[in-house]
């Protein structure tokens, strides 16, 4: 497999590494949305959230919290986004599970959001019933 994020996570390509352990590497994003925008990369390849084991996903979230806390203090940010995309329709462009940590400031111009839509109570019930079938 020729996965660029596998190479970055495993040190085959030099990176600005913020954190590393046996399972993850956290690097600064090469095309940042804001100052300090970083990526949490598992060293093992998983294409997306559907493939990553629960234990590894949990560790990624814990690491996200740890990194966001440290980055908020170091960069004096007012908040942060923790973003994880799955599939092209959701904006995933590199098919190696990763999480974005995006430090935010009250005056930045980054837009991570969506247009709100009204949903009927009948539709909410239909969605709830359908999803629960698969849990």
Contact (CB, 8 A) for 8 and 41: yes
Q: Which of 98, 100, 105, 117 is catalytic?
A: 98
Cα dihedral value 66, 68, 74, 79, nearest 10: -150
Q: How far, in Å, CA of 26 to CA of 89, rounded?
A: 25
- Residue 100 appears among annotated catalytic residues: no
Q: How far, in Å, CA of 52 to CA of 96, rounded?
A: 10
Positions marked active-site:
98
């Amino acid at each position: 497999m020729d996965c660029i994020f596998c190479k970055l996570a495993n040190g085959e390509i030099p990176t600005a590494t913020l954190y590393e352990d046996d399972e993850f590497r956290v690097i600064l994003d090469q095309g940042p949305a804001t100052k300090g925008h970083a990526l949490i990369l598992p060293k093992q390849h998983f294409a997306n959230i559907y493939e990553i084991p629960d234990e590894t996903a949990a560790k990624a979230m814990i690491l996200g919290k740890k990194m966001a806390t440290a980055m908020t203090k170091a960069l004096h940010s007012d908040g942060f986004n923790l973003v994880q995309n799955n599939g092209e329709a959701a904006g995933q462009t590199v098919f190696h599970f990763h999480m974005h940590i995006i430090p935010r400031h009250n005056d930045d111009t980054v837009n991570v959001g969506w247009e709100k839509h009204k949903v009927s109570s009948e539709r909410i019930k239909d969605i709830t019933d359908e999803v629960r079938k698969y849990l």
